[in-house]
Chain A
Amino acid sequence: MKLGDGIFGREIVPWLAVVFWIAVVLLVLVELVGASFGDAVEGFIQGAFGGRRFAYLMATLSRATLIVGMALSVMLSFRAGLFNIGGEGQLVAGGLVAALVGIFLPGPPLLVLAVSILAAMAAGAAWAMLGGLLQLYVGVPLLVGSLLLNYPIRYFASYLVAHPFRDVPSGMVQSHLVPMETWLPFFPGTRLDIGILFILVAGISAIAYSYTTVHGYQSRLNGLSPDFAKTVGLPVDRLALQTLAMSGAIAGLVGAVAVFGIHHRYIDGSLVQPLYAWTGIIAVLLVGMIPWLVPLSGFFFAAIQTGAAGMERTAGVPKEIALVVQAAIILFVASRVSGALLASSDRKTDGGSDA
């Protein structure tokens, strides 16, 4: 009972304040462009959760799937004290490999799909471990190395789909389509693909890993105090590489889900421009790295983005203003981050005793 009270006091009340200030900013901006506040809010809510047969809600969920996936990837490494901010590169590596394997591997569709997903996870893991190896053997801090590794893989992917594997007739910088039989199906009666199930499984595994496995426990101790972990003889280097591999594998999985569920090919920039990886990082920091809150936080960010788009469509709020609103929302929400991080050590145990 006490736990619930604590969460209520610490979580809900500040969040109400955040919502209030977001409304204030929205009111001022909407007033500025001469649109109606009511329309704007309605457009926002419709855009995030409404639509015919909840089409927009499905769009939100689809986006949330990718953000939550990236957030899970980040969470695993951050909780182990590994500041892997190279999720974008690992995502691109996964998406690229998934598309290429999907296009070129012959065989029954289900097998192709399975192999593509596994290959994507392996690619993401390898790219993440590269950052870890740079830190361990060359001395490049992971924070820097993982970030810088985003660029070579992005441009390499751009090159591959711009030249050797380009779908030239389409006129776009993108690969050919993967066979239609390998596309992830929609849930019946919706336009939501089943990629969310993959992320669900990944999420449950990640949470179970964090709370119930020896490896998760050890890598968390390493994250909390590296000196302590070394002193008691934990295999810190191996833990770091393995954790990075898991983190990268999830990012690779997200890339595969995006390719087989949404784009059905690798489109240049499609995984980078929507800022899935960065939003994922914010989504994790926002909730102080508490695993079971990560899906909620990811959904929240997806809703902000689709909601802002809805506001533009229906309330005539120009896209730029919608973007400012979106940025303001993220700012307000992120301003809670520092507090959340300060309290995170407290809440890590709250979460721990839940498990």
Chain B
Amino acid sequence: MRVSLSGIVVRFGALTAVNDVSLAIEPGEIHAVVGENGAGKSTLMNVLFGLVKPQAGTIGIDGRPRVWNSASDAISAGLGMVHQHFMLQEQMTVLENIVLCAEPVGPLGFVDFAAARRRLAESANLHGITVALDREVGRLSVGERQVVEILKMLYREAQVLILDEPTSVLTPQEKDRLFEILRSFRAAGRAIVLITHKLDEVMEIADRVSVMRGGRLVTSAPLAETSKEEIARGIIGGELPPLRQRSARTPGEAVLAVEGLGIGRRGRSVGPLSFSVRAGEIVGIAGVSGNGQAELVQALAGLKPASAGRIVLCGRDITGLSVAERRRIGMSYIPEDRQRMGLALAATVSENANAGRDDRGGFAKGPFLRRGAMAEFARDIIRRFDIRVAGPSALASTMSGGNKQKLVVGREITRATPLIIAENPTWGVDIGAIDFIHGELMRMRDAGHAVLLVSTELDEVMALSDRILVMYEGRFAGEVPGSEATRERLGNLMTSHLGQGSAVAA
């Protein structure tokens, strides 16, 4: 099935999200659509899938123009989409989720699950997919859930598959498995659209790459005719930032010292963990997601009680203190989940920028807010961190992911506390914003702040850290100096108990 988009225009109020874009999607091809957050790639795909109505332009299927009134029109025409946030009913089994809205009905009006099972087994075997059909979706890992979404599309015999940032939640192994499945789809003559901003993935799997910037299509060419550098230039509309140079620096006193910290968690507990972060260094904590990093960060931030050990910040024992007291003593925290923890999306940019600041005196007069001062401060952050937003009184929810993250980083970093905890600070953020955030963290290190970087992105940890601790099953599997870190060495530590017990850092 051949799909063509021609002259698509989408406007949201004053903003033109997609500006006169024409694109052809060929069967048997993996077509990567890349661009920064807010470049319009998701909106364009939502048009193709019938979720957004374009102001102008047409969709053609095999040469015939079509108009979607809803996503179900697009589905019945043979399109399928896996959204970044999965659309699954957690209390139902895999099988029930897959047949939902397309149930095979037996003669008496009951759902014929046996028939569905047979059909699924066939197509799953064909593409080498294995998944337990009777498990509850709520018990599946993120990677397995994605497989369920893909099976859903297979079951509906989608000829064109759209995947929105499919690898952002996967471990390297899960990603490899996904790509195997996609290759098998390509061999079967299906068309695959991959929305992503990870260039390595594009280079690995795509046949054709389309670059979007600011709502426009910059280029669309076969992968062979372009290069990684050219694509990157197209995405950011300029030259690539130079590689980061790390200035040699002798770390100072320990700002954060953790001794024998234990954190209770359902199933296995985390800890005991001992380490320290000194002034003027970035300590990276690497590991596959789910090995206790989240618990460690929450215990440090004061969101989860410690079951053993102590945490010392700036010479004070903060083990039993509240979030507010810890922040006052000298901690900033950039949480991984900007939607839920980093920002109040329904509040304005100005209100978000001011939340949790201890210099309230500047923003309040007695019990009253000084809205002018708050807005002025927000404008300052917007300017300094180059945040693209209508203004201080715009809702936080109106910003793209990268800009949301910059606001969180801006709010926390400008507090200039001795310790900064950054938890996956560039998750789902575009190249420009990643570089900017990395630069800010590095700048804080050079200015003598202690930075604890917890990240599942190995590249990020290796690029920034002076020392790297690797977590595995709730413990540190080892420590590697930043200068000696290689993917292989860290990768080995990430999956083994090697060196356990010797991980007590200075």
| B369 partner residues in chain A, CB cutoff 8 A | 212-214, 217
| B343 partner residues in chain A, CB cutoff 8 A | 225, 228
Taking chain B's interface residues, is the majority helix, strand, or loop, or is none over half, making it mixed?
Answer: mixed
**For chain A, which range describes its interface: under 10, 10 to 19, 20 to 34, or 35 or more residues?**
20 to 34
A214 touches B368 (CB 8 A): yes
A234-B356 contact given A349-B348, A349-B393, A352-B348, CB 8 Å threshold:
yes
A214-261 residues at the B interface, CB under 8 angstroms = 214-215, 217-218, 220-221, 224-225, 227-235
A352→B392 CA distance, assembly (Å): 12
Across the interface, B344 reaches (CB within 8 A) one of A213, A224, A233, namely A224
7 interchain residue pairs of minimum CB distance: A232-B356, A233-B324, A345-B346, A233-B323, A225-B344, A224-B344, A231-B341
Cβ of B322 under 8 Å from chain A: yes
B326-371 residues at the A interface, CB under 8 angstroms = 326-328, 333, 335, 337, 340-348, 351, 355-356, 360, 363-364, 367-369, 371
A213→B369 CA distance, assembly (Å): 5
| A228 partner residues in chain B, CB cutoff 8 A | 340-344, 355
A229-B368 contact given A214-B360, A221-B355, A353-B393, CB 8 Å threshold:
no
Cβ of B301 under 8 Å from chain A: yes
A233 touches B327 (CB 8 A): yes
18 contacts between A and B (CB under 8 A): A212-B371, A214-B363, A217-B369, A221-B347, A221-B351, A225-B343, A225-B344, A228-B341, A228-B344, A228-B355, A230-B341, A232-B356, A233-B302, A233-B327, A234-B324, A234-B355, A352-B348, A355-B371
Q: Identify 8 new A-B residue pairs, CB closer than 8 A, beyond the known A220-B347, A230-B303.
A: A214-B363, A218-B355, A231-B356, A232-B323, A233-B302, A233-B322, A233-B326, A346-B395
Contact with B along A9-33 (1 / 0, CB 8 A): 0000000000000000000000000
A234→B323 CA distance, assembly (Å): 8
B292-331 residues at the A interface, CB under 8 angstroms = 301-303, 322-324, 326-328
Interface set of A (CB-CB < 8 Å, partner B): 212-215, 217-218, 220-221, 224-225, 227-235, 345-346, 348-349, 352-353, 355
**Cβ of A337 to closest chain B Cβ, rounded Å:** 18
**Cβ of A236 to closest chain B Cβ, rounded Å:** 9
| B327 partner residues in chain A, CB cutoff 8 A | 232-233
Taking chain A's interface residues, is the majority helix, strand, or loop, or is none over half, making it mixed?
Answer: helix
Of chain A, the residue at the smallest CB distance from B412 is A232
A185→B324 CA distance, assembly (Å): 49
| B397 partner residues in chain A, CB cutoff 8 A | 345
A229-B344 contact given A212-B368, A212-B369, A214-B369, CB 8 Å threshold:
yes
Of chain A, the residue at the smallest CB distance from B323 is A233
A224 touches B303 (CB 8 A): no
A174→B340 CA distance, assembly (Å): 51
B348 touches A235 (CB 8 A): no
| A348 partner residues in chain B, CB cutoff 8 A | 346
B346 touches A227 (CB 8 A): no
**Cβ of A153 to closest chain B Cβ, rounded Å:** 31
B367 touches A235 (CB 8 A): no
Of chain A, the residue at the smallest CB distance from B302 is A233
A231 touches B323 (CB 8 A): yes
| A221 partner residues in chain B, CB cutoff 8 A | 344, 347, 351, 355
| B324 partner residues in chain A, CB cutoff 8 A | 233-235
A212→B344 CA distance, assembly (Å): 18
